[in-house]
Structure 1
Amino acid sequence: MAENRTFAREVLVRFGDCDPAGIVFYPRYFEMFNNLVEDWCASGLGTSFRELHEVQGLGIPTVSIQTDFVAPSRLGDVLRAELSVLETGGASITVAIRLLGENGAERVLATLVLVLMDLKAMRATRIPDALRARIAAFEPAEQSDQER
């Protein structure tokens, strides 16, 4: 059975994303990453940021980010944003993000470490088993198979 282990969506490069040279100003990519993580939580994991924050009292901040800017993106480009899980720890999730141009060429590659956090205590908290199971759907097949 073939499974899609990548969460993806399209991102339109808007005027506000660009610098005077007409290319994406690099900090805007970090906003795109956060938007992708937020969409992944809502659509991929079934738990919106609103549910996490306001109901469960949890956050999922980025605590580490490594980024390679491979090629520029320009106003009007439609990028394919992809997220896959590299590793799930006790409270952390390491994800890979790729932004691809319309021709499939890599524009930006990033690795983010997210940590599930108890917002009241302001410290990391263990990922609940139910959420962990949903996260596993975005891990490489061989990794998920080994955990069964």
Structure 2
Amino acid sequence: MTSSFDPVFRTSILVRFGDCDPAGIVFYPRYFEMFNNLVEDWCAVGLEHSFRALHMEQGLGLPTVHIETDFVAASELGETLCAELQVRKFGATSITLGIRLLGPDGADRVRCTLVLVLLDLHKRSAVSLPEALRTRIARFCVTQ
């Protein structure tokens, strides 16, 4: 029996006034906030593991340790972007994500590779991904 689970996590992002520069296009650092919000939504909805539970209850964080971004085309005030997130690979402590933001026409606006590490917030050191979380992450993995 094959699974109908889609390994791509998708959500919509409205380009708001606060995201834009005076020309009405997204000011590039705002994309990084959008990526972080996307990761937070993916954890809560896709992995069923909220940032609140992770940070406040478990004393863990998921900081970005590496990011590569291609700004393909401008996004404008009022547009709704389609955000797509896939897991490219994951190891003992890290997760490499592929992120795309697409315009209303379906064309790429921004492409990003993001590496996250599970961090013990008290010790400030990387820790292994728990097996239950690894199982959920694997559902979104396209290459592993």
Shift of 1:103: 1.2
- Correspondence 1:55 to 2:22: no
Q: Which residue of 2 is the match for residue 136 of structure 1? A: 138
- Tell me the SS of whatever aligns to 1:20: coil
Alignment of 1:2-41 (within 5 A): 2-41=4-43
- Tell me the SS of whatever aligns to 1:95: strand
Q: Which residue of 2 is the match for residue 111 of structure 1? A: 113
> May I ask how many residue pairs the two structures share in their alignment?
142
Equivalent AA in structure 2 for residue 112 of structure 1: L
Q: Which residue of 2 is the match for residue 89 of structure 1? A: 91
Q: Which residue of 2 is the match for residue 146 of structure 1? A: none
**Structure with the higher helix share, 1 or 2:** 1
- How many Å separate the matches in 2 of 1:5 and 1:127? 19
- How many Å separate the matches in 2 of 1:104 and 1:137? 24
Shift of 1:3: 2.6
Q: Name the Cα RMSD after superposition.
A: 0.8
- How many Å separate the matches in 2 of 1:61 and 1:70? 25
Gap runs ≥5 in structure 2: none
- How many Å separate the matches in 2 of 1:122 and 1:71? 37
Shift of 1:90: 0.7
Shift of 1:114: 0.2
Q: Which residue of 2 is the match for residue 44 of structure 1? A: 46
- Tell me the SS of whatever aligns to 1:38: helix
- How many Å separate the matches in 2 of 1:56 and 1:72? 39
- Residue of structure 2 aligned with 1:74, choices 68, 76, 99: 76
Equivalent AA in structure 1 for residue 52 of structure 2: R
Give TM-score, length-normalised by structure 2: 0.97
- How many Å separate the matches in 2 of 1:10 and 1:54? 27
- How many Å separate the matches in 1 of 2:64 and 2:45? 19
- How many Å separate the matches in 2 of 1:56 and 1:3? 28
Shift of 1:98: 0.2
- Residue of structure 1 aligned with 2:104, choices 102, 107, 111: 102
